[in-house]
Amino acid sequence: MLKQISVFVENKSGRLCAITEALNKESIDLRSLSVADTTDFGIVRLIVNNTEKAVNALKDGGFTAKVTDVVGFGIDDKAGAFYEVVKSIEEKGINIEYAYSMMGKVSGKADIVVRTDNNPETVKLLQAKGINIITNCDI
pLDDT of residue 113: 97
pLDDT at 132: 92
Report the pLDDT averaged over residues 69-91: 96
pLDDT band at 7 (very low <50, low <70, confident <90, very high): very high
Query: Could you tell me what percent of the chain has a pLDDT over 90?
Result: 82
* 138 within 8 A of 102, measured Cβ to Cβ: no
User: How confident is the model over 44-60, as a mean pLDDT?
Assistant: 97
Q: Which residues contact 31 (CB under 8 A, 6 or more apart)?
A: 47, 48, 49, 102, 103, 139
pLDDT (tens digit per residue) in 92-135: 999 999 999 998 777 788 999 999 999 999 999 999 999 999 99
Q: List C-alpha distances in Å: 63 to 52, 55, 66, 114, 127.
A: 14, 9, 10, 24, 35
Q: Residue ranges of the alpha helices (H) in 11-118?
A: 15-25, 51-60, 81-91
Question: By percentage, how much of the chain surpasses pLDDT 70?
Answer: 100
